[in-house]
Every structure is written in C-alpha cells, then in structure tokens.
Amino acid sequence: GESVGLHLPTLSVQEGDNSIINCAYSNSASDYFIWYKQESGKGPQFIIDIRSNMDKRQGQRVTVLLNKTVKHLSLQIAATQPGDSAVYFCAENRGSTLGRLYFGRGTQLTVWP
Amino acid sequence: EAGVTQFPSHSVIEKGQTVTLRCDPISGHDNLYWYRRVMGKEIKFLLHFVKESKQDESGMPNNRFLAERTGGTYSTLKVQPAELEDSGVYFCASSLHMGRYTFGSGTRLTVV
C-alpha cells in the first residue's frame, strides 16, 4: 500500500504487506528529516532519521528514502503488522532554524489482519 | 531513564478561564520544546528553550500564551484567557543536543 501524505491522509494495508508512506517538503534548506509514529494517546515516537547528505537509510523493518531533486521523503515498512497501526508524521529541520521541526499533516496507517 | 512527563493529560476548561500545562523534560536535557496539534492538522512548533532561555518563540500564536522554564528544569505553558481555537493536544519534547527529540504523551486541552 502507498500514500501520498498530504493528499491522502489514510492508508489501509493487510498484515504482512509492505507499506509506503510519502511526504513532500518544499524548503531546499531542509537538511535533516525524521519520521515519527504516534499511537493513540501517546506522543510522537522516533522511528528513523536521515540527513540530506544521504538518500537511503535502513532500520529494523523500516527504510527511509530521500529524493532531494523532487523534495520527496518516503517511509517504507516491511511486513506490516497490526502494531504498526498509527499516525505517521514526517518532520524536517531547516538548517537555519536551530532545533525547530516542521511537521507534515500525518498519515493514518491501518493494518488489517 | 525516565521520559518526558506532561500533566495534566487532559484538561477541559471554559472559554475565558486560565490553564497551565506542565512539562518535565528528561533530566539533563537542555533543549525543551513546546508543540501543538489542532484536530486533524499538522503538529506546529510553539517555542524552544535552551536551559532557562527562550531560544525561539516565533511559533507562539499570541500574547495569551506564556511559557516559562524556571531554573532550566521543568517548563509551564499558560493560556490566559483561553479561547475555543486553543483546543488541541500540546506536546512537550526535550533533547540533549538539537536533533533527536523525546516527546511527552501530551496534554489534550478542550476549551468549551
């Protein structure tokens, strides 16, 4: 399953499938990107990050891809599980704004058994 | 290590009243941030403390919002007087260095 972030804020996938959540950013000065997962009643939880000098980074079952040419970020979740159901946010840091993060609207991922 | 603690977890107040939210960051984290998420919208930055100093408060919506961080430890965010549009979830986050934050669970504020 795949989402386009701001234009499709929900994504439903079947357990075991791969999920792709997309995010577009507009500021070419953005140099650090983070994906967060937010479960109901909890705060955003760090998943994976990537700096602008990289185009791919892998974690456990997750991969982040960065395409600076088209200002696009994606989060791939392999073998999606029901516990992955949550809202996923991309966030960017624009080098000139110190620690401040700019968040996307979020994508609701629902995993069906 | 204890996480970022926020309280109350929920607050329901009437328009015109005052509410104070509190955040206890991870011990030793100099950077403390406040963010807010209004229903269905993105999480928006409010302000950033480095120790007790306001590093960036450009996200504070208006002068009804006052944030403090006495002694560089816990922080409070006061809304006075509260308006309906202030409803949302207020998140606090802390970090040792600028970059990877740890968020609290948030305070859900409802103004009626």
Distance between CA atoms of B112 and B103, rounded to whole angstroms?
Answer: 27
Contacts of A7 (CB under 8 A, 6+ apart): none
Quick one: DSSP state of residue B97?
Answer: S
Contacts of A37 (CB under 8 A, 6+ apart): A44, A45, A47, A84, A86, A87, A88, A89
Q: Does B41 touch chain A if contact means CB atoms closer than 8 Å? A: yes
Q: Which of residues 11-70 of A touch B (CB under 8 A)?
A: 32, 34, 36, 41-46, 49
Q: Which is nearest to A97 in space by CA: B68, B92, B57, B100?
A: B57
pLDDT in tens, B10-64: 999 999 999 999 999 999 999 999 999 988 788 999 999 999 999 999 999 999 9
pLDDT in tens, A8-60: 489 999 999 999 999 999 888 888 999 999 998 899 999 999 999 999 999 99
For B74, the token pair is 């816990």
Q: Does A7 touch chain B if contact means CB atoms closer than 8 Å? A: no
